[in-house]
């Protein structure tokens, strides 16, 4: 799980993510995919660990406690609006996914939405905007027209 041989290590590995040892716990945990600054603050408060403590100064036991807390999924001390999976479609539970689990869940969501032919998925597959933005003059850099303009120097 967490590998840390000496206190002078430059990188500490938590949840399969290398975190620089000179970062504070608050901003170091936010390097993990699925954990933001607000969520890492809530984790520090829930576990009773000082959020200003440097990652390199954490003991092996504290690192394991943080990993177990993020893996366990028991976020009863954290408000539900901070969790990234509220009212799960299948179970109805509030969950928070981190790292590889987050990637898997987003993939599953895309597959489920494409099965039902959702408007959002159809637009995203066509590389168009999903949330109602105007496309007449914006968002051209992802289209074929932009690549043609850049190759020809702006000439048609």
Percent with pLDDT over 90 in the chain: 26
- Sign for the pseudo-dihedral over CA of 58, 64, 65, 66: positive
> What digits encode the pLDDT tens for the residues 95-118?
888 888 888 888 888 888 888 888
C-alpha–C-alpha distance, residues 29 and 52, integer Å: 12
CA distances from 90 to 64, 76, 94 (A): 30, 20, 11
What pLDDT score was predicted for residue 6? 46
Residue 134 has pLDDT above 90, yes or no: no
Residues in a beta bridge with 109? none
Q: Which architecture characterizes domain 11-81 according to CATH?
A: Orthogonal Bundle (1.10)
**Domain ranges in the chain?**
11-81, 84-152
């Amino acid at each position: 799980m967490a590998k840390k041989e000496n206190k002078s290590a430059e990188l500490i590995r938590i949840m399969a993510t290398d975190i620089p040892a000179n970062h504070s716990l608050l901003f170091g945990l936010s390097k993990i995919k699925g954990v933001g600054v607000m969520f890492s603050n809530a984790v520090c408060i829930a576990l009773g660990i000082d959020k200003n403590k440097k990652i390199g100064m954490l003991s092996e036991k504290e690192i394991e406690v943080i990993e177990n807390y993020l893996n366990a999924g028991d976020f009863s001390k954290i408000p539900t609006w901070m969790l990234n999976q509220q009212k799960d479609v299948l179970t109805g539970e509030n969950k928070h996914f981190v790292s590889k689990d987050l990637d898997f869940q987003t993939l599953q969501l895309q597959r489920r939405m494409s099965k039902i032919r959702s408007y959002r998925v159809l637009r995203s597959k066509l590389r168009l905007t999903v949330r109602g933005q105007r496309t007449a003059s914006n968002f051209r850099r992802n289209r074929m027209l932009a690549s043609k303009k850049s190759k020809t120097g702006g000439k048609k």
